[in-house]
Structure formats: C-alpha cells, structure tokens
C-alpha cells in the first residue's frame, strides 16, 4: 500500500511539473536548492553536528537538481514577466548560461567528493554559494 501511495504521489508530482510553466519550474528548483543548502548551513556553522548521511543526501539532492538546470527550458524568452528574473538574463544570455554551467560543474565536483567534516561542508558551501551570488546579483531582482 505504501508503495502504491508513493507511486501515486510521484506521478502527481510529475504531471504537475509538466503542467507548470518555466517560471514555476525554476522557482520550484530554486526552492529545492535552498532546502538542500539549508540542511548544510547549520552544519557548516557548527550549529548542528556533522552527519554524513544528512550531508550526502543534501549534496545528492543539489547535484540531481543542478543536472536538470537547463537554461533554455527554464528561462525561455518572455518567461520573466511577473517574476524576480531580470531582463538582464536574456540581454546577457551567454554570460547567464556560462554561470549556470559553472554552478553545475562546481556542484558535480562537490558531489564527486562529498564533504567529510564540518570544515569541508563550509568550504563546499563557499563554492556553491559563490555561484548562487554570482547569478543572483546581476540577474535576480532584489526582494523587499
């Protein structure tokens, strides 16, 4: 019964993801990135003890989503209306794509050699977070 419920939930998610537009898809992906990073940050700050299972799961989630980060599918022309995505994305698409590819490569590098202690989690967050800021500064509207 549990397998059937899980399968139904997975199918519902897949169908809803295919119905959603690119803006909704990228927002969901960014929230997923934030959730995984949110698991790592307290470990890096020493607020939670290092837990290899938590770290590995978060890194795997980051990597799985990063590999799905397809600029053409998530940021088609005209999909910025009413979102935090700035027109600069489409005005500087080559730079935006290069930043996305660097992010994907850096996350894959962390996933290939997952952090083994608190200091390594902090270093990994520094690399990944640097990528986030490199895109969000020029390409996302400032909030509130």
- Residue 58 labeled ligand binder: no
Distance in angstroms (rounded) separating the CA atoms of residues 51 and 72: 36
The per-residue b/e assignment along 97-127, b for 16 or more CB within 10 angstroms, e otherwise, is: eebbeebbebbeebbeebbeebebbbebbee
- Residue 132 labeled ligand binder: yes
- Residue 100 labeled ligand binder: no
Residue 128 CA neighbour count, 13 Å, CB half: 27
Phi-psi region of 143 (alpha: psi -120 to 50; beta: other; left: phi over 0): beta
Binding site per annotation, positions for heme c: 132, 135-136
| Residues tagged in the binding site annotation | 132, 135-136
């Amino acid at each position: 019964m549990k397998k059937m419920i899980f399968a139904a939930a997975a199918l519902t998610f897949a169908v809803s993801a295919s119905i959603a537009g690119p803006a909704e898809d990228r927002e969901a992906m960014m929230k997923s990135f934030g959730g995984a990073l949110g698991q790592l940050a307290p470990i890096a700050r020493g607020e939670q003890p290092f837990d290899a299972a938590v770290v590995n799961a978060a890194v795997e989630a980051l990597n799985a989503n990063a590999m799905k980060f397809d600029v053409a599918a998530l940021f088609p022309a005209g999909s910025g209306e009413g979102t935090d995505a700035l027109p600069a994305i489409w005005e500087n698409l080559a730079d935006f794509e290069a930043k996305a590819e660097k992010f994907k490569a850096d996350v894959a590098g962390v996933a290939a050699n997952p952090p083994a202690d608190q200091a390594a989690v902090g270093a990994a967050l520094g690399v990944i977070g640097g990528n986030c800021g490199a895109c969000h500064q020029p390409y996302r509207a400032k909030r509130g």
